[in-house]
Structure 1
């Protein structure tokens, strides 16, 4: 009688809707990176904050890495993927140097990054890369990449949490978008700005982003890569902002030249 008294199983319980189980290994860790190419130099910069949403994980997480004496890479996106990708890339560059007794050129490094990213296109590195440095002809160059390897050479590029704030500013100041030269003046040419002006634009970009975006802040690291014929004394004589320091970065391989400098300091809110 007890069994008969129980209510029968409903049709809804018998044919319940399936539950979707989704695996998402990625995370967005904030921060912002940018790079600007000059006539005989390149500037690559990034902030040091690593966060997830409104939670700050660490206030010093490096996003800019020196690859060779002529190349510097900035990464942004999923921090774990970025660290793993940089480690594998440096390993490949080290093998190349041992096999060929020279460092890989900037253009070849860009192609190598494209190949590595595209090889993981079905389970990609969730990281946006910006490569900056000096080409074989002595000119500054910047290459920007998406997570699956599409890339192009540009005069400037920003990526990360504050890209929507920084990129329009760079388009105006580097590409001279929405600017008209005065009558009789020479036309604007991207990549002709002096180093002091470019450094000022970089600092202003990150200062503005820090004021307006919670995922950007704490500190800034600016790598400056110079061509062989350029004297580093002009950089050492620059007037630095409050709390900013500058140091020479040692060569990556044996017999290299010290043409890379690191400018670092705090990012403060007013």
Structure 2
């Protein structure tokens, strides 16, 4: 057998990788009567910027906001599926689904796809039925827990220690250890992303901040580094 025949008869390995990490960062902070959910708008692939405005945070109900990082296409698909389920719920019950119920629905939706999961790391924030801020963090197959604050995405390792110190009062003596007010939470959110963009090339361009209160959901934009 000559060399060409040996090459033709050799086994050929084919790879299929349906996922892509499009970078970006999100965070959520729950207060006594509000919740902040924020994310940057940069969508990237390695060292290439695909878009400078590709939102990762979505209003899904009058009391809940969802932020996703990971594969942008999977995040969009997940949000569309949730929107459909929430629309069915509104028609059937003539009311909005509560944030804790929506957290359970999101967990079930992710778990149903566990054998070919959405490559999406989610943060769900909003108000619970008592009007208190609530943050739920998820892994791609639906495991979740309620927290006071959480960061996710490519700069999570930079922002989470900052939140631990400034919101969770960890490693501080004689700290007040009370929940931050809305003004303080907004300032911490902007400071966290401003610092993260100095070290993480996948985070930047624009920061979208969703503030959930008893009056509804308000959106604020804040410019970040573009290089």
Q: TM-score range by the shorter chain?
A: over 0.9
Contact 1:72 1:133 in 2 (8 A): yes
* Residue of 217, 224, 227 corresponding to 1:260: 217
**1:9 shift after superposition:** 3.9
Structure 1 residues 101-134: Cα deviation after superposition (integer angstroms, max 9, x where no partner): 0000000000000000000000000000000000
Contact 2:39 2:209 in 1 (8 A): yes
Structure 1 residues 15-63: Cα deviation after superposition (integer angstroms, max 9, x where no partner): 9653321211100001100000001100000001000000000000011
* Residue of 168, 172, 184 corresponding to 1:197: 184
TM-score by length of 1: 0.80
Tell which has more relative contact order, 1 or 2 (C-alpha 8 A, sep 6+): 2
- Write the distance in 2 (CA, Å) between the matches of 1:34 and 1:14: 52
How many residue pairs end up in the alignment? 226
Change (3 A) 1:131 1:13: same
The residue aligned with 1:115 is 108
Contact 1:221 1:263 in 2 (8 A): yes
Change (3 A) 1:178 1:17: farther
**1:265 shift after superposition:** 2.4
The residue aligned with 1:160 is 153
Contact 2:205 2:226 in 1 (8 A): no
Contact 1:49 1:61 in 2 (8 A): yes
TM-score by length of 2: 0.95
Contact 2:23 2:70 in 1 (8 A): yes
Structure 2: segments with no counterpart, 5+ residues: none
Q: Highest CA radius of gyration, 1 or 2?
A: 1
Which segment drifts farther, 70-79 or 17-26? 17-26
1:188 corresponds to 2:145: no
Root-mean-square deviation over aligned CA pairs: 1.8
Q: Superposition pairs for residues 129-148 of structure 1, below 5 Å?
A: 129-148=122-141
